[in-house]
Amino acid sequence: MKFHSRLLAPALFTFASLLSVPLMAQDWVRTGSNLGNERIRLAAADFKPTSADPQTPALKAVFDATLYSDLGNAGIFDLVSKSFAPQAMPGSPQEINLAQWSADPVNAAMVAFGSLSTANGRLLVYGWLFDTRNTANPQVLGKQYNEAATQDMARTVAHRFADEIIYRLGGGINGIAETKIYFISSRTGSKEIWAMDYDGENQHPVTHLGSISISPRVSPDNSRIAFASLGREGWAIRMYSLELGRMVSFPGGSTGGANQSPAWTADGNRIAFSSSRSGDPEIWIVDANGSNPHRITYFKGPDVSPTWNPKTNAQLAWVSGRTGLPQIYIMDQDGSNVHRMTDGGYAVSPSWSPNGQFLTFSWNRKYGPGAPGGQDIYVMDIASMRWLQLTHDAGSNDFPSWAPDGRHIVFQRQLGSQTDIWSMLADGTEQHQLTRSGNNSMPNWSWK
C-alpha cells in the first residue's frame, strides 16, 4: 500500500502537470489577470485637424501615435490596422459613417475618433468612442480636453482618452497609460533611481546620490520612493520625496549591516524590508514614517525581498534561504502560517498581483553549479500553486513587478552584459524593450 502510493503520487503528478500545465495554463492566467479570452475589435481613427495653426500637425502626430500605441498596449483589444481605416477622417459624430467601420475589412465593434486643434498656445481635443453596431444610440464615450499646446500634454491627453476607453471596455479596470515605472540606471556612472512613463517615454533621473542605490519602491500615493542605498555603515533604507524633490529622513532604516528591499502596504501605512540588525538578514516591518520597527522572521539564513498581499495588507510573500537555495514563501504579517510556494531551483523577487490571486517571480528551476537553464519570469496562482512560465530562452530575467491593472508585468532582462527593462502582458505575450541606454534594472510599476 505504502509502496504503491509512493510510486503512484509522482507518476500522477507528472501526468497531471504534463496534461494541465502546458494546455490549460494560458486560460487561467488570462482570466485571472483580466486579459480575457475574447478581445474586442477596436478601430482608432486618426484625429481630424480642425485648425490651421502651425503647431497642429506636430501635436496631432504625437497624439495619434500615442493613442494608437496605448490602445494596442492595453492587451484587451484586437486593434484594427491603420491601413484598413476608411479614407474619410471623421472629426465629429455628424461626420462618421458607422457602416464603413463595421463592414469589411475594418470589422470594428468599436471606433474611437475625434478632432484636434491648437490656438493661442492651447490644445483642444474632442474624442468619442462609438459602438458600430448600435446605430440608434452609438455613443459610448464623449470627452473634451483643453490643455497647454505642448508635446507632453498631447501625449498626456492621448493617455487620458486611452485610459477612458480602456476603463469603459475593460471591465471597469483603470488603464495604465498614465502610470510610471521607477528603475535603477547606471547611465550617469553610478546606480541612481530613474523614472519613465509606462511605455518607456520620458526617461529621467530622480536621485543624484553618487553612491549605489537599488530596489526603488514607490508609495501607493506616488508621493515617495523607498529604496536602499550604500553608505559608510552598510545599506540603509532611504526615502525620496517626489513632492519635495529631495531626500527625507527615515529613521528606522539605517542601523548598520544590510537594510534593503523595502515593500509598501497598499494603504501606504507600513513598509516591510530585510534587515541584518539582529545579526542575520530577517524580515522586519516599520511604520511609513520610519518608526516602530519590529521583526517577524526568525530563521538562520538570508530572508529578503518581501511583498505584501495588496488585497489584505496582512500577508507577505518573501524569499528565504533557510533550506539552502532561495525559495518563495508566504506568511501572515505576524510571521505565522509559513508556506513554501516553490519546490526547488532558485526562486527570487516575488511581486503580489493587485487582485491578490497571483505571485510573479523569477525562477531558475535547474539552478546549480554548472547546470544549464535560464532565470525566467513565472506566474503562480497562490491557491492552487499552479504556475506558468512567461519568458523562454531569452537571457536572464529578474525583478518582475505587476502593473496596477493586473494585466501587465515589467521586469529586467540581461542579455550578455547588457541589462534592460522590458514589459509584457501577464500571459508572457507582447514583450517590449523599454530602455536602450546604459544598464537598467529593478523596475517598479507605480500603483496608479
Partner 1 sequence: MNRRTRILVPALVLVALVAVAGCKKKQPPAPPPAATAPAATAPTAQITATPSSISAGDQVELSWKTTDASDISIEGLGTVPSTGVKTVTPTVSTTYHLIARGEGGTADATARVVVSAPPAVAVPTNTMSAEEEFKANVQDIFFDYDAYDIRSDAEGTLSHDASYLASHPNIKIVIGGYCDERGSSEYNLALGQNRADAAKNALVSAGVAASRIRVISYGKEKPFCTESTESCWQQNRRAGFSMDQ
# binding residues, partner 1 (CB under 8 A): 42
**C-alpha cell read off for 181:** 515605472
**Rounded CA gap, 336 and 152, in Å?**
48
> In this complex, which beta carbon is closest to partner 1, that of residue 46 or of residue 398?
398
- In the complex, the smallest distance separating the C-beta of residue 405 from partner 1, rounded to whole angstroms, is 25
> In this complex, which beta carbon is closest to partner 1, that of residue 10 or of residue 324?
324
Regarding 25 and contact with partner 1 (CB under 8 A), the answer is no
Out of 69, 305, 333, 353, name the contact with partner 1 by CB under 8 A.
305
Out of 55, 115, 349, 401, name the contact with partner 1 by CB under 8 A.
349
- In the complex, the smallest distance separating the C-beta of residue 300 from partner 1, rounded to whole angstroms, is 9
Residues 405-424 touching partner 1, rule: CB under 8 A, are: 417
Regarding 302 and contact with partner 1 (CB under 8 A), the answer is yes
- In the complex, the smallest distance separating the C-beta of residue 260 from partner 1, rounded to whole angstroms, is 6
**Rounded CA gap, 38 and 76, in Å?**
8
**Rounded CA gap, 240 and 247, in Å?**
4
Out of 33, 185, 362, 446, name the contact with partner 1 by CB under 8 A.
362
Beta bridge partners of 328: 319
Query: Looking at residue 152, what DSSP letter applies?
Result: H
Regarding 329 and contact with partner 1 (CB under 8 A), the answer is no
Regarding 319 and contact with partner 1 (CB under 8 A), the answer is yes
Regarding 147 and contact with partner 1 (CB under 8 A), the answer is no
**Rounded CA gap, 54 and 218, in Å?**
39
326 preceded by cis ω (within 30°)?
Answer: no
Regarding 258 and contact with partner 1 (CB under 8 A), the answer is yes
**Rounded CA gap, 73 and 80, in Å?**
13
Please report, in angstroms and rounded to a whole number, the separation of the first and last CA atoms in the chain: 55
Phi and psi at 166, nearest 5°, equal -65, -40
Angle 157-163-167 from CA coordinates, rounded to 5°: 150
**Residue ranges in contact with partner 1 by CB under 8 A:** 191, 212, 214-215, 228, 230, 233-235, 256-258, 260-261, 274, 276, 279-281, 301-305, 319, 321, 324-326, 346, 348-349, 362, 367, 369-370, 375, 398-399, 417, 441-442
